[in-house]
Amino acid sequence: MLNLDGYDLIMFSMVNKSIRSQTQDNLLWRKICFREFPNDIIRMNYKRKDISLNNNNWFNLWKEFDKKNSTIIFAEQPELSLMIPPCWIRNESDVLHPKIIKTTLPYFDVHAIFDTLMPGIYQIVWEIKIGPLKNGQNFKFITKVSDKEWKKTINYAYKPKPYEIENLSTKGWFKFKVPNKIFVHEKNSKVKTELRRYTSLEENEISLWIKSMELYSVQLVRCQK
């Protein structure tokens, strides 16, 4: 069972009760945490947190590490401010989205990087809020899968049809799952995902359609095989 990663082990445990009982071993999940999330273990150790076997539920820690490493909340990534043009906004009134980034600029480009990934099939999910749309607005989702040294790269791109985004605009926060299936073949691969907004309008026409666009997070979701 140690040959399986955490996600596949969970899928395997659903076969029957006998297998499920064997896959709940605390030592097993501790080994998986050390193998899949070494940086998180280092941070725990650096903060002098207990990393012993008996004083932790390692399956719960695995779920915590997995969620943290597969979700990026933009307003909690201050280093991204150098490449993000909008203002930073803290929205205290929305408990589900307390920290967001927001822009009214016609050209918008933001990216996020997920690293130390396990092999598998993934999809990208963006959590977005868009104001009323008019003609001339375009969105494009770009994803690159690379090895840990950024030498070998596989590119994916998706440009939604106008109605795909239009049907979701003005409805508050929504999650947009990019249709591309992202294939990660090597351990410790990196995924860089990017969202672009741009316009085909002339400069003097841009003011006709500028509405706010807000971003909360982007998530890398593991697909069932």
pLDDT per residue as tens digits for the range 87-132: 556 666 677 888 787 777 667 778 888 887 788 899 999 998 887 7
**Are 169 and 122 members of one domain?**
yes
Summarize pLDDT for 161-173 with one digit per residue, the tens: 877 877 777 778 8
pTM to 2 decimal places: 0.79
Dihedral sign for Cα 199, 200, 206, 211, please: negative
In a domain, 1, yes or no: no
Which residues, including other chains, have CB under 8 Å from residue 204's CB and lie 6 or more apart?
none
Of the CA atoms within 13 Å of residue 181, those in its CB half-sphere come to 8
Residues 77, 50 share a domain: no
What pLDDT is recorded for position 210? 52
Per-residue confidence (pLDDT) for residue 37, from 0 to 100: 85
Could you tell me if residue 65 is inside a domain? no
102 occurs within a structural domain: yes
Q: In this structure, are 101 and 186 located in the same domain?
A: yes
Q: What is the mean pLDDT of residues 26-54?
A: 83
Average pLDDT, the chain: 79
The answer to whether residue 61 sits within a structural domain is no
Q: Are residues 10 and 112 in the same domain?
A: no
| CATH assignment of the domain containing 154 | 2.60.120.680
197 and 155 in a common domain: yes
Please check whether residues 139 and 178 belong to one and the same domain: yes
Residues 78 and 30 in one domain: no
CB 122 within 8 A of CB 220: yes
Residue 102's domain comprises: 71-222
| Percent of the chain clearing pLDDT 70 (strictly above) | 82
DSSP 208-225: GT---EEEEEEEEEEPP-
Lowest-pLDDT range, 123-132, 187-196, 210-219?
A: 210-219
- Whether residues 104 and 20 share a domain: the answer is no
Rounded-to-integer distance, Cα 61 and Cα 109, Å: 34
* Same domain, residue pair 118 and 207: yes
Q: Are 121 and 151 within one domain?
A: yes
| Number of domains making up the chain | 2
Distance, CA of 52 to CA of 54 (rounded, Å)? 6
- Same domain as 124, residue 47: no
Q: Are residues 24 and 82 in the same domain?
A: no
Which residue's structure tokens are 């995924």?
Answer: 191
- At 70, which amino acid appears? S
